[in-house]
Structure 1
């Protein structure tokens, strides 16, 4: 069995935080396309991503993400 991709792992985090087990994300998904992904949920999502991947996101990184793909790229870069 292969390791889940970062996108798959991020998707699981979003499903958990947003309480939507059927949520499907793509790299192009933006907040406006996801029910419940508002500014408050964004903070919870980012902290959950940090905890899950053992990374630290700067305020600029947290607020400057244009889509899920940008988040995946930042996570991958920080994980090395």
Structure 2
């Protein structure tokens, strides 16, 4: 799965979760830049991402995640490891 496809799917998740179709995902985007991205919505985001991509994050991965770009990299690695 190409990173552009991951960004496309993540954009859909972000638009639905944060109810904001104007959100543009960039590798540098962080939770601090999205007003509604609080701890509760972070959990919802992780659950939605795991469901959409059929992956599971490890606790250490979640703790080190600091931007959308990092999230995309982890998704890409996990999907590749599954042979997709």
TM-score, normalised by the number of residues in structure 1: 0.89
**Residue 28 of structure 1 pairs with residue 28 of structure 2:** yes
Partners of 1:34 and 1:72 in 2: CA distance: 17
- CA drift of 1:9 comes to 1.1
Counterpart for residue 64 of structure 2: 64
- CA deviation profile, 1:23-56 (whole Å, cap 9, x unmatched): 1110110110012001111010001000000000
Q: CA RMSD in A?
A: 1.1
How many equivalent pairs are there?
A: 77
Counterpart for residue 47 of structure 1: 47
The gaps in structure 1 that reach 5 residues or longer are: none
Q: Which has the higher contact order (CA 8 A, sep 6+)?
A: 2
